[in-house]
Chains A and B, each alone.
Chain A
Amino acid sequence: MKKLLINLVFSSLSFIGYSDEAYQKAMTQSIEKLFQATTIPEYVEIANQFERISNIEKTEWLPLYYASYAYIMISFQEPENAKKDQYLDQAQKYLDQAMAIEPNESELHMLQGFLYPSRITIDPMNRGMELMPEMNKSLDKALELNPDNPRVYFLRATMMFHMPEAYGGGAANALPLYQAADEKFRIFKPKTELSPSWGKEINDAEFKKVQEVMQK
C-alpha cells in the first residue's frame, strides 16, 4: 500500500515535472514555429518560449541558441536603430549564457558571427571597421571547431554577395563560396534532431540568384 502510494506520487510528479521526452517535444514544436515565424511579435513569442525552456534546462545550450537566433532575426526587421541595439543586447545575453554552458560549440561561434552584421548595419562607417574583424574571428573559430559547418560557408557567401564589388565583394566572388556552402549543406547531418540545421533553403535560393545574376 505504502509502496504503491509512493509509486503513484512519483509517477504523478514525473507527470508534472519535465521528462526528457517533454523537453524533446517542446523543443521540436518551438523550433518548428521559429522557422515559420515572419513578424516581430511571432519571433518574440517564440523567443519567450525558448527562454522558458532554458529556465528549466539549465545545462542545455540549444534553447538559448534559438532564443538568441530569434532576437537576431528580430533585429534584422526592426527599423529603429536604438531598439535594434536593445534586441541585439538581448540576443547577446542569451548567446553569452549558451557559451558559458558550451564554449566549444561551433554553432554558437557561428551565431556570434551572424549577430555582428546586424550591429554593423546600425552604423556601418564606425562599427564596420571595429566589428568586421570580430565577425571574422568568430567565423574562423566556428570553422576551427567544425570545418564542415555549412552555415559558416553560407554566411561568408552572403556577406560577399552583398558587399559592393568595389570592396572586393559581388556575385562573381560570392559564387564559389555559395558552391562550397551548397556542398557542405548536402553532406551535413545535424548531431541531434534538435541541433541547428537551418540555412539550406535560403542558401539554395541565394545560390540560384547569384547564378542568374552571373548569366546575365
Chain B
Amino acid sequence: MRTIFIILILLIRTSIFAQVQVSGKVTDSRDAPLPGTNVFLKDSYDGATADSLGHFSFKTGIKGIRQLSATFIGYKPFLKELDLDSARTIVLNIVLEELDEQIDEVVINAGAFEASDKKKAVILKMFDVATTPSAQGDIFGALQTLPGVQKVGEDGRVFVRGGESYETQSFLDGMQVSTPYLSKMPDIPTRGRFSPMLFSGTLFSTGAYSAEFGQALSSIVDMKTNSLETEDKSSISIMTVGVMASTTKCWKSASLSLNGDYVTSGLSNVINKQQVDWTKSPAGVDGTLMYRQKTGKTGMFKVFGTFNHSSSGMIYPNTQTGIKQDILLKSSNVYLNNTYNGMLSEKWMIKSGLAWNYDHQKFDLDNDQIGTNQKMFQAKLQFIHNLNEQTELKFGADWVNFSYEQNIRMDGNYRLPFTNNELSGFAELEYKLSKKFATRVGARMENSSLLGETTLVPRLSAAYKTGNHSQFSLAGGYFYQNPENDYLKFAPQLKPEKATHAVMTWQYQTEQKTFRVEGYLKKYADLVKFNQPLATNPLDYSNTGSGHAEGIDLFWRDKESLNLSDYWISYSWINARRNYKDYPVSAIPTYVSEHNLSVVYKRFFEPLRTYVSVTYSFASSRPYHDPNFSGFMNTKTQPYNDISLSLTYIMELFGKQSVVHLMVNNVAGFDNVYGYNFPNTPNAAGKYESTPIKSPFERQIILLVSIML
C-alpha cells in the first residue's frame, strides 16, 4: 500500500515536473515580426517576450487546457486555447491584428477649423494663435492665416469666401457676441475685443456649419473660454502700447480671474512712422472678469464679463467730398455672458446661457455728430441626448432681442431706431453608421419680428474615413442673415439675405501633420441692393441683389519634418462675383483677391531661449472702380505682400519668470495699397484724382515685457 502511495506521489510529481515547451513566432498581418509581444499562459507567471525576430519560447509545468494570451501595444489581444497535456512541445505562429482604436473615429468637419488645447489632433492650438506674428495677439488676425479668409488690410475683420465681414458671426461659449470688434475709424483696420489668453479653444467654420448656429451667411467663430483654473497666478505686462495686469485665484471647485489693461498708441505712434494724421492717439481701458464654478459631478457654471472704453481722433481726408474732416470717435462696450453645462442623466446633457451686449459709439465729424447705441440680449437653451452609441440628438432654442438706435445731428436732427426679436429653434441628429461613416441631418427655423419673416432651412453633412488618418467629407445647407443694421435702420421692410453652401473636403491628419483640401460652391440671393449709398427712403432698398463664389482652399501643416520647427501654409483660390449694393452690373467686390497665401513658420532656439515666428502673406490684386475709365470695377491694385516677425524670449527678471515679446509688422516695409478713394466730382482738368488707401503705419514695432508674479 505504502509503495503505491509513493509511486502515486512520484507520478504526480513527475507529471508536475514534466514541463511543456511553448515556442513560436509573433507577426502582424503583413508578416512583420512584433518584438516585445507578451506571450503567456493566462493566470500564470509562465510566459515570454518575443525577441527582435518575433520569436518566443518558454517552459511551463502547468497541465490541462489553458488560455494562451499574446498582447502588444496597438494590437488586439490574441487568445488561444492550448491543451498542455497533448504534447511536450507546442509550436505556434501568432498573427496579431491591429487595434481599431488606432484608427480614430470619423468626425464631421467639413468647413471647420478647430483650435483647442484639449484635443490631441487639432489644426491650431491657442498658443499658435497667440504667437502668430501677423495676428498681433488678435484671434481674428490669426484666423486670417487660415485658408478661405481674404486679406483686407484696411479693415482687419474676417472676410470669408467672397463674403463681407458682417457675414461672419462671433460666439463666446456658444452665445452670440453682437460687437466682436473694436469700433472702427474709416480706412483704419480694427481688431477683436478679446485677448486669446482668455480662451482654450476656437471653432472656426468657413461654411456649411451646424444648425446650432444661425444669422451668419458665411462663417462662424465660436470661442471657448478657459475652463476651471487650477493654479493661483498673477502677472503684469508693460508694453510700448500700454500696461496690462491679470490675476487668478482658485478654490476647490471654483476660480476667479481678473484682467485689466490700459492701451494707448501714443508712444507707439511716435516710434512707428504714421501715415495718418492723429489728433488723438487711439487709447482704451479694458477689464475682464471670469468666474468658473463646478457644480455637482459634471456641471460647469461660467460667468464672463468684459467692458471697454476707447477713444481716438484723426484728420480724415474725405476724398469724396474733397474736404479734410476732423473725426473724433468715442466708444463704450459691455459684454456679459453666463453659461451652464451639465449632465442631467447619463444620456441627457443640458447647455444653457444668457448673454447681454451693450455698445455705444459716438462720432464727432467736424460739427456734426453721429451717436449709435446697440443692445442685445440672448437666452439660449439646448439639450443633447445620446440615444445610443451611434446616435446623438441635439435640439434647442434661442431668443435674441436686439435694439438699435442712431442719432444723427447733421443739418437737423434725425433718429433711426429699430428693435428686432429673433426667435430660433434647431434640431440635429448625428448618426454613425460605422466607425468609418457618419451623417448629420439638421434643420433650423428663425423668425424675425422686425422683418416679419420666418425661415426654415436644412443643414446636412456626412463624413467617410478613407484611411487610418484620412477622411472625405461633404456638407451643405441654406443660411439666412438679416440685412446689416446700416440698411435696416432705413428700410425695416427688407427680407433676410440668403446663402447656399456646398462643401467637399479631403483631409489627412496625424498628430504632427495635416493636409487638407476643400472645394466649395456658394450662392447668394436676396442681397440688399440700392440706387445710391445712404439713401433715406426705404423704397430705395430692395432684396434684389445676388452673387456667387466658388473656390479651393488648401492647408498644410507640418510639425516634425523640419528640425524643431513648425510651419503651416494656407492657399486659397476664389472666383467671386456680386451684384448688390449700388453695383450697376455683376462684378468682383473690392475685398476679393483671387489668390491668397499665408506661410507661418515657428521655431524655438533652445540655446538662445528664443521662440521665433515669421509670417509671410500674399494676396493678388484687388479690383476697384476708377471713374476716369469706362466700365465698372475696371482697375486692379498691386498685389499685397507682408512679412511679420515675432521673437519671444524667456528669462528671469527680479527673480520672477518673465517673457519679452517683440513683434514687428511689415518688416520689409512693403508699400501696400488696398484701394483708392475718388472724389464725387472731377477737378478743373476733368480728372478724378485718386487717394490711395494704405496701412496707418509703414512698419509697426511693439515690445512687451510680461512678469509672472
**A residues with CB within 8 A of B:** 4, 8, 12, 15-16, 18, 22, 26, 40-41, 44-45, 48-49, 51-53, 55-56, 81-82, 85-87, 89-90, 123-126, 129-130, 133, 136-137, 164-168
A-B contact pairs, 12 of them (CB 8 A): A8-B9, A15-B16, A16-B61, A41-B52, A51-B71, A82-B511, A126-B117, A126-B127, A133-B230, A166-B650, A166-B657, A167-B657
Taking a contact as CB atoms under 8 Å apart, the answer to whether A168 and B35 are in contact is no
With A48-B49, A168-B652 known to touch, is A8 a contact of B12 (CB < 8 Å)?
yes
- The answer, yes or no, to whether B692 is at the interface (CB within 8 Å) is no
Name the contact of B5 in the complex, choosing from A4, A53, A85 (C-beta under 8 A): A4
Taking a contact as CB atoms under 8 Å apart, the answer to whether A12 and B52 are in contact is no
For residue B47, which residues in chain A have a CB less than 8 angstroms away from its CB? 48-49, 52
Name the contact of B117 in the complex, choosing from A18, A82, A85, A130 (C-beta under 8 A): A130
B52-63 near A? 1/0 per residue, CB < 8 Å: 100000000111
B19-54 near A? 1/0 per residue, CB < 8 Å: 000000000000000011010101111111101100
With A86-B74, A133-B230, A166-B609 known to touch, is A45 a contact of B49 (CB < 8 Å)?
yes
For residue A22, which residues in chain B have a CB less than 8 angstroms away from its CB? 45
Taking a contact as CB atoms under 8 Å apart, the answer to whether B36 and A8 are in contact is no
Name the contact of B44 in the complex, choosing from A52, A85, A89, A166 (C-beta under 8 A): A52
In the assembled complex, the CB of A49 is this many whole angstroms from the nearest CB of chain B, namely 8
Taking a contact as CB atoms under 8 Å apart, the answer to whether A52 and B511 are in contact is no
> Can you list the 9 inter-chain pairs with the closest CB atoms, starting with the nearest?
A48-B38, A45-B49, A44-B36, A166-B651, A48-B49, A52-B40, A133-B231, A166-B652, A52-B47
Given A26-B45, A48-B38, A86-B74: 9 more A-B contacts, CB < 8 Å: A12-B13, A15-B16, A18-B44, A41-B36, A48-B47, A49-B45, A52-B44, A55-B42, A166-B651
Docked complex Cα distance between A15 and B231 (Å)? 54
Give the residue among B8, B127, B231, B559 with the most A Cβ atoms within 10 A.
B127
Among residues of B, the one whose C-beta sits closest to the C-beta of A56 is: B43
Docked complex Cα distance between A203 and B380 (Å)? 57
Docked complex Cα distance between A164 and B605 (Å)? 13
Taking a contact as CB atoms under 8 Å apart, the answer to whether B231 and A81 are in contact is no
Among residues of A, the one whose C-beta sits closest to the C-beta of B35 is: A41
Give the residue among B38, B510, B651, B657 with the most A Cβ atoms within 10 A.
B38
**B residues with CB within 8 A of A:** 5, 8-9, 12-13, 16, 35-36, 38, 40, 42-49, 51-52, 61-63, 71, 73-74, 117, 125, 127, 230-231, 510-512, 559-560, 604, 609, 611, 650-652, 655-657
In the assembled complex, the CB of A128 is this many whole angstroms from the nearest CB of chain B, namely 10
For residue A129, which residues in chain B have a CB less than 8 angstroms away from its CB? 127
Among residues of A, the one whose C-beta sits closest to the C-beta of B1 is: A1
Docked complex Cα distance between A55 and B510 (Å)? 33
In the assembled complex, the CB of B222 is this many whole angstroms from the nearest CB of chain A, namely 21
Interface of B is mostly: loop
Docked complex Cα distance between A125 and B13 (Å)? 62
For residue B35, which residues in chain A have a CB less than 8 angstroms away from its CB? 41, 44
In the assembled complex, the CB of B125 is this many whole angstroms from the nearest CB of chain A, namely 5
Among residues of A, the one whose C-beta sits closest to the C-beta of B46 is: A52
In the assembled complex, the CB of B509 is this many whole angstroms from the nearest CB of chain A, namely 13
Among residues of B, the one whose C-beta sits closest to the C-beta of A163 is: B657
Taking a contact as CB atoms under 8 Å apart, the answer to whether A86 and B73 are in contact is yes
For residue B43, which residues in chain A have a CB less than 8 angstroms away from its CB? 55-56
Among residues of B, the one whose C-beta sits closest to the C-beta of A130 is: B117
Taking a contact as CB atoms under 8 Å apart, the answer to whether A126 and B125 are in contact is yes
Among residues of B, the one whose C-beta sits closest to the C-beta of A90 is: B73
Docked complex Cα distance between A137 and B207 (Å)? 41
Give the residue among B48, B74, B604, B652 with the most A Cβ atoms within 10 A.
B652
For residue A123, which residues in chain B have a CB less than 8 angstroms away from its CB? 559
Docked complex Cα distance between A11 and B1 (Å)? 20
Docked complex Cα distance between A16 and B13 (Å)? 11
Taking a contact as CB atoms under 8 Å apart, the answer to whether A165 and B512 are in contact is no
For residue B611, which residues in chain A have a CB less than 8 angstroms away from its CB? 125
Among residues of B, the one whose C-beta sits closest to the C-beta of A12 is: B12
Taking a contact as CB atoms under 8 Å apart, the answer to whether A137 and B230 are in contact is yes
Among residues of A, the one whose C-beta sits closest to the C-beta of B117 is: A130
Among residues of B, the one whose C-beta sits closest to the C-beta of A134 is: B230
Give the residue among A56, A81, A123 with the most B Cβ atoms within 10 A.
A123
With A16-B16, A126-B117 known to touch, is A167 a contact of B650 (CB < 8 Å)?
yes
Among residues of B, the one whose C-beta sits closest to the C-beta of A85 is: B511
Docked complex Cα distance between A166 and B655 (Å)? 9
Give the residue among B9, B49, B62, B604 with the most A Cβ atoms within 10 A.
B49
Name the contact of A164 in the complex, choosing from B42, B46, B71, B609 (C-beta under 8 A): B609
Give the residue among B5, B9, B44, B62 with the most A Cβ atoms within 10 A.
B44
For residue A90, which residues in chain B have a CB less than 8 angstroms away from its CB? 73
Docked complex Cα distance between A133 and B51 (Å)? 39
In the assembled complex, the CB of B601 is this many whole angstroms from the nearest CB of chain A, namely 14
With A8-B9, A52-B40, A167-B657 known to touch, is A125 a contact of B604 (CB < 8 Å)?
yes
Taking a contact as CB atoms under 8 Å apart, the answer to whether B42 and A165 are in contact is no
With A44-B36, A130-B117 known to touch, is A56 a contact of B62 (CB < 8 Å)?
no
Among residues of B, the one whose C-beta sits closest to the C-beta of A87 is: B73
With A86-B74, A167-B652 known to touch, is A18 a contact of B45 (CB < 8 Å)?
yes
Taking a contact as CB atoms under 8 Å apart, the answer to whether B36 and A16 are in contact is no
For residue A167, which residues in chain B have a CB less than 8 angstroms away from its CB? 650, 652, 657
Docked complex Cα distance between A51 and B73 (Å)? 13
For residue B12, which residues in chain A have a CB less than 8 angstroms away from its CB? 8, 12
Name the contact of A165 in the complex, choosing from B5, B16, B74, B652 (C-beta under 8 A): B652
Docked complex Cα distance between A48 and B12 (Å)? 31
